[in-house]
């Protein structure tokens, strides 16, 4: 039991799967050509990029020409948001939520500084955005709505289809950061009525540093980077050919395996939630049912998620927390605070994000090592003793 690694941090990143690596290797070795070159090696690389584009499109029910390859979720979000805003220069209004990933939240704050008005919608105690709130926030000059599909910390799944229908009806561009959703739950861009959707390969067992932006046909964006003509000028720069090929392979397999994987993840998730919330002073964060199949987020009252995390690491368990120092800032997670948690409860949060490769044995192991750690930390906690 000692040297094992129980990896329960798939929302941060997931291991590259073997099939994706195998698909990538030829493009890191013999097929090293630049897709823009006209010679044979170049054409081989171009063909690989085109095939990958078809695979990614198929996985999302999109058309190949609606897929733009990027360096990941952060870049896709920046291109989507700034690319929309730059199209309507001067002033306007955008709507987003208070629980977005920083790759949307901080971009919106910059856009606000540039002269736009931004509405940061609140969420309920489960981390859910209300469709009525979105409708009420729409102004005559609203040009963009950006609401994430699933939250990376608490796993809450938003009513994207309903918001999409509303945005379409009002003629407002709708973007969703689907980085936590793609490869984890079904994502069909037509059904969701989204105009722009961001995804990232390393969250579904693909390589790091590669992602894509879906841009619905007819919704042109103003490029934020200038350079060559790659990705129809929206994302200039020589393509990460091996990364793109690896992402397409990983996504193709993730979609194929989705029903089976979902069943197992939900089983493990629900078991963890049941067992952990049965412990003294432990509460669930996020929605009881509308949540990602692999997401568990609980608060251990009177202790620091940070300490819990480090103790778990010593036992070979990799997890995450909404506690302060993890994120490099003094305040606990903006997501948990937006859900109405007090600082103490937010500091005691622990996120276990399950994924491909996790098994019931991992859950057994976690459930055997965690309670003694919690007991020990609480024995040292003045807050716990005051409560007693």
Active-site amino acid positions: 325
Measure CA of the first residue to CA of the last residue in the chain; give whole Å. 34
CB of 314 to ligand PLP, least distance (A): 26
Alpha helix locations (H) across 160-319? 160-170, 189-192, 241-277, 305-314
Q: Which is nearer to ligand PLP, 211 or 243 (CB)?
A: 211
Q: Which is nearer to ligand PLP, 79 or 148 (CB)?
A: 148
Give the distance from CA 289 to its chain's centroid. Answer: 18
CB of 103 to ligand PLP, least distance (A): 4
CB of 28 to ligand PLP, least distance (A): 20
Site for ligand PLP in 218-277 (CB under 6 A): none
Q: Which of 9, 177, 195, 231 binds ligand PLP (CB under 6 A)?
A: 177
Q: Which is nearer to ligand PLP, 193 or 203 (CB)?
A: 203
Site for ligand PLP in 61-80 (CB under 6 A): 72-74
Site for ligand PLP in 189-208 (CB under 6 A): 200, 203
Question: 3-state class of 251 per DSSP?
Answer: helix
Q: Which is nearer to ligand PLP, 204 or 302 (CB)?
A: 204
Q: Which is nearer to ligand PLP, 281 or 318 (CB)?
A: 318
Strands (E), the chain: 6-7, 67-70, 93-97, 117-121, 142-146, 173-177, 196-200, 211-215, 282-284, 295-300, 317-318, 349-353
Site for ligand PLP in 127-166 (CB under 6 A): 148, 152
Q: Which is nearer to ligand PLP, 152 or 311 (CB)?
A: 152
Site for ligand PLP in 301-360 (CB under 6 A): none
**Of 332, 351, 330, the residue nearest 340 (C-alpha):** 332
Q: Which of 96, 176, 180, 184 binds ligand PLP (CB under 6 A)?
A: 180
Q: Which is nearer to ligand PLP, 212 or 370 (CB)?
A: 212
CB of 72 to ligand PLP, least distance (A): 3
Q: Candidates 31-39, 176-184, 242-250, 320-328: pick the segment binding ligand PLP (CB under 6 A).
A: 176-184
Q: Number of C-alpha atoms within 13 angstroms, CB side, residue 2? A: 0
Site for ligand PLP in 84-103 (CB under 6 A): 101, 103
Q: Which of 211, 243, 293, 322 binds ligand PLP (CB under 6 A)?
A: 211
CB of 378 to ligand PLP, least distance (A): 31
CA dihedral 266, 268, 271, 274 (to 10 degrees): -60
In the block, tokens 């009420």 appear at: 136
284: phi then psi, degrees, rounded to nearest 5: -80, 140
Q: How far apart are CA 140 and CA 2, in angstroms?
A: 61
Structure tokens at 223: 């490029």
Positive or negative: CA dihedral 178, 181, 183, 187: negative
Give the distance from CA 258 to its chain's centroid. Answer: 17
**Of 182, 212, 373, the residue nearest 279 (C-alpha):** 373
CB of 347 to ligand PLP, least distance (A): 21
Residues near ligand PLP (CB under 6 A), total: 13
* Residue 60, number of CB atoms within 10 A of its CB: 24
- The binding site for ligand PLP (CB under 6 A) comprises 72-74, 101, 103, 148, 152, 177, 179-180, 200, 203, 211
């Amino acid at each position: 039991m000692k040297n094992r690694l129980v990896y329960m941090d798939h929302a941060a990143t997931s291991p590259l799967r073997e099939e994706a690596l195998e698909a990538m290797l030829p493009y890191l070795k013999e097929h090293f050509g630049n897709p823009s070159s006209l010679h044979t090696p170049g054409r081989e690389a171009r063909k690989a990029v085109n095939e990958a584009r078809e695979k990614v499109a198929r996985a999302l029910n999109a058309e190949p020409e609606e897929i733009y390859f990027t360096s990941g979720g952060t870049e896709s979000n920046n291109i989507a948001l700034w690319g929309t805003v730059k199209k309507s220069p001067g002033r306007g209004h955008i709507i987003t939520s208070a629980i977005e990933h920083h790759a949307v939240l901080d971009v919106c704050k910059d856009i606000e500084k540039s002269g736009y008005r931004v509405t940061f919608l609140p969420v309920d105690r489960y981390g859910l955005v209300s469709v009525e709130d979105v409708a009420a926030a729409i102004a005559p000059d609203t040009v963009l709505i950006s609401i994430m599909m699933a939250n990376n910390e608490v796993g809450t799944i938003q009513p994207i289809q309903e918001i999409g229908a509303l945005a379409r009806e009002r003629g407002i561009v709708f973007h969703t950061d689907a980085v936590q959703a793609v490869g984890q739950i079904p994502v069909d861009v037509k059904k969701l009525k989204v105009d722009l959707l961001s995804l990232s390969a390393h969250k579904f067992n693909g390589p790091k540093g590669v992602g894509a932006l879906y841009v619905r046909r007819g919704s042109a964006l103003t490029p934020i980077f200038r350079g060559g003509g790659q990705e129809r000028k929206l994302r200039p720069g020589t393509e990460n050919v091996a990364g793109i090929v690896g992402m397409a392979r990983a996504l193709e397999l993730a979609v194929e395996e989705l029903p089976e994987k979902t069943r197992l993840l939900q089983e493990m998730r629900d078991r963890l939630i049941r067992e952990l919330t049965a412990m003294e002073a432990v509460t669930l964060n996020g929605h009881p049912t509308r949540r990602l199949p692999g997401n568990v987020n609980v608060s251990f009252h009177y202790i620091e998620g940070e300490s819990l995390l480090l103790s778990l690491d010593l036992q070979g368990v990799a997890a995450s927390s909404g506690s302060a120092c993890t994120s490099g800032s003094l305040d606990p997670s903006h997501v948990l605070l937006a859900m109405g948690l007090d600082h103490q409860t937010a500091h005691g949060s622990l996120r276990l994000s399950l994924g491909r490769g996790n098994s019931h044995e991992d859950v057994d192991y976690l459930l055997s090592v965690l309670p003694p750690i919690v007991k020990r930390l609480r024995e040292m906690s003045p807050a716990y003793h005051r409560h007693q």
